[in-house]
């Protein structure tokens, strides 16, 4: 007779075989693959020392793995892209410890997707309640402040809301393939002035003697990865004063283990590689992740990170291009403002009420912002708009 499902906590993704973990994946979403999470841990990016202590949550029935969730015990809020620093500060001012907290997310990756992997005959509503109960029990036992689940897919979001998790709304800018046959076909949806502006940007890139090439999989050489990592470090140093969360070891490992899902855009001036942009892909979506350059070129960032990605999606029939977080400049280039979500459980009832009040007010602001941002899109105004 089958026993009730049991919970297991893993302090390393390597504690479960890759084949067993990946067997729960129903699509090719790259960031929840065993190889991606393993590269983060092997390289030191997601470890107890970095403040991302793995605590992956598994649910078993006898010897069958029913569900799995990436989970981390966090001692800070860096690398999450859903900012709760103000919650932490308020709670700490009250004399309480906000950290550590439990977090289900893909480290340094604000890309919506699955966060609970399920066996073929299991539905999210069958297991998430038990997983959440185990999380709450642990929070109470270890005096943790909270549980947070970032960028869930729609099914998990609905299940979490039904179980009483607080929902937070955010905003990103994504490109959607409306059946375009070419980049010019996409540009035909722009107003005349916006279309001319974008074409001038692209022309200016090539007038600087730049040539761009799209590399995939095994065509990305060790030298390409070395140069890309150098650009990545330079970009982080200019933007934030540190060399970035990820190491050369991480990029080299995913270059080996996930090569069939990697798309790198390389920019050359004459024979010198001067910039590169890194993307991942699955069967429907291109995910823009990192970019860097050796020196500044006018409009090169837009060409390497956006326009080349759009052309790739059209060429390969992908439905969506998620270029990463932030960046209102994407709107005028045809990336549509969309809502993103996260789910939260705060242990202390008083703090939970305060957070819920904040989230309600924040959501009204974001809904208004999304409407205003959509009005700035470059597309032609149709008669029935």
Residue 363 pLDDT exceeds 50 = yes
Structure tokens at 12: 């390393």
For residue 285, the cross-strand partners are 320
Three-class secondary structure of residue 380 per DSSP: coil
Q: How many CB atoms lie within 10 A of CB 209?
A: 11
Residue 384 has pLDDT above 60, yes or no: no
Statement: residue 188 has pLDDT above 50: yes
- CATH 3.40.630.30-classified regions of the chain: 6-170+338-374, 178-318
Quote the tokens at residue 203.
């022309």
| Gap between the Cα atoms of 204 and 201, Å rounded | 5
Q: Which CATH superfamily is domain 178-318 in?
A: Gcn5-related N-acetyltransferase (GNAT) (3.40.630.30)
Q: Is the dihedral of CA 42, 43, 49, 52 positive or negative?
A: negative
Place domain 6-170+338-374 in its CATH homologous superfamily. Gcn5-related N-acetyltransferase (GNAT) (3.40.630.30)
The pTM (predicted TM-score) of the whole model is 0.95
Residues 231, 293: Cα–Cα separation, whole Å: 5
pLDDT digits (tens, 9 = 90+) for 4-41: 899 999 999 999 999 999 999 999 999 999 999 999 99
Residue-averaged pLDDT of the chain: 95
Let me know: does 169 contact 365? Beta carbons within 8 Å.
no
pLDDT band at 182 (very low <50, low <70, confident <90, very high): very high
349: nearest Cα among 91, 141, 43: 91
pLDDT at 82: 97
pLDDT score of 243 = 77
What's the pLDDT score for residue 121?
92
């Amino acid at each position: 007779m089958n026993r009730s499902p049991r919970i297991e906590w893993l302090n390393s993704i390597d504690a479960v075989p890759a084949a067993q973990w990946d067997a729960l994946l129903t699509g090719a979403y790259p960031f929840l693959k065993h190889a991606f999470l393993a590269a983060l841990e092997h390289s030191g990016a997601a470890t107890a020392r970095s403040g991302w202590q793995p605590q992956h949550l598994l649910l078993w029935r006898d010897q069958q793995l029913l569900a799995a969730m990436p989970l981390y015990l966090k001692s800070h809020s860096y690398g999450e892209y859903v900012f709760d620093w103000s919650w932490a500060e308020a709670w700490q001012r009250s004399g309480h410890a906000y950290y550590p907290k439990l977090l289900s997310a893909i480290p340094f990756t604000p890309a919506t997707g699955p966060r609970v992997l399920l066996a073929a005959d299991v539905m999210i509503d069958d297991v998430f309640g038990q997983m959440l109960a185990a999380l709450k029990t642990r929070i109470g036992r270890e005096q943790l402040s909270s549980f947070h689940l970032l960028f869930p897919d729609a099914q998990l979001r609905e299940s979490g809301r039904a179980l009483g998790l607080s929902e937070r709304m955010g905003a990103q800018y994504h490109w959607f393939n409306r059946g375009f046959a070419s980049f010019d076909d996409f540009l035909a949806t722009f107003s005349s002035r916006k279309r001319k502006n974008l074409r001038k940007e692209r022309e200016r890139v090539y007038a600087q003697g730049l040539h761009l090439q799209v590399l995939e999989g095994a065509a990305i050489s060790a030298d390409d990865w070395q140069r890309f990592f150098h650009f990545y470090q330079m970009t982080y140093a200019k933007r934030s004063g540190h060399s970035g969360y990820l190491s050369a070891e991480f990029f080299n490992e995913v270059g080996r283990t996930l090569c069939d899902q990697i798309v790198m855009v390389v920019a050359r001036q004459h024979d010198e590689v001067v910039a590169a942009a890194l993307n991942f892909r699955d069967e429907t979506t291109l995910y823009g992740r990192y970019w860097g350059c050796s020196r500044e070129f006018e409009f090169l960032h837009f060409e390497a990170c956006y326009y080349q990605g759009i052309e790739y999606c059209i060429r390969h029939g992908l439905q969506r291009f998620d270029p990463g977080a932030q960046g209102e400049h994407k709107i005028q280039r045809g990336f549509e403002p969309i809502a993103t979500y996260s789910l939260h459980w705060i242990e202390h009832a008083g703090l939970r009420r305060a957070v819920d009040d904040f989230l309600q007010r924040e959501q009204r602001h974001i809904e208004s912002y999304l409407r205003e941002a959509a009005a700035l899109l470059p597309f032609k105004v149709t008669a029935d708009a």
